Amino acid sequence: MARLAFSGFIAWVMCVLVGCTDTADTFPMNDAAKRLGPVAISFARTGIGSGPVTITMADGEVLKGRYRVAFGGGEAFAFSGTKSASALVITDGPVQFVATGPKTQMLCRGTSSTMGHGNGQCQTYEGAIWAVSW
């Protein structure tokens, strides 16, 4: 049992240090996206609000980029006599990136939660739009 727990811990550490690859669900939003076909989006969850993203177009073209999340935040303080307390709050934030391939560029924008889930849209410069959720 201890060996299984240790193996799980090692897997978690590797995921944090290297990043875990995840995928996003995509849905075509207009005729241009339907004509181009489905896209596959994969990204690394690094735990630090940024990482590599890869988009594979239906024709096999691979687009690469790097996402960044601009998390919001704030501080709170409370005082009562000689006692005090403070808290740091991290809130959801916007995410945006450009993925570039040999013949296609795609701009993606959305909002990501502090737990790493979110949604948005990706659009080629020619106007094909996909809804994206991760």
Q: Tokens for 43?
A: 């990204």
- Dist CA 56 CA 110 (whole Å): 19
Residue 90: which H helix or E strand, with range? strand 83-91
| pLDDT surpasses 60 at 22 | yes
- Dist CA 123 CA 105 (whole Å): 9
pLDDT category at 20 given cuts 50, 70, 90 is: confident
Task: For the beta carbon of residue 128, count every other beta carbon within 10 angstroms.
Answer: 22
For the chain, domain boundaries: 21-133
pLDDT category at 6 given cuts 50, 70, 90 is: low
| pLDDT surpasses 60 at 12 | no
The 10s digit of each residue's pLDDT in 75-132 is: 777 788 888 877 766 678 899 999 999 999 999 999 988 777 899 999 999 999 999 9
Q: Whats the size of the chain, residue-wise? A: 134
Task: Output the pLDDT for position 1.
Answer: 58
- Dist CA 7 CA 128 (whole Å): 44
Q: Tokens for 111?
A: 């909002």
Strand 129-133 relative to strand 118-124, pairing: antiparallel
**CB-based contact 46:67 (threshold 8 Å):** no
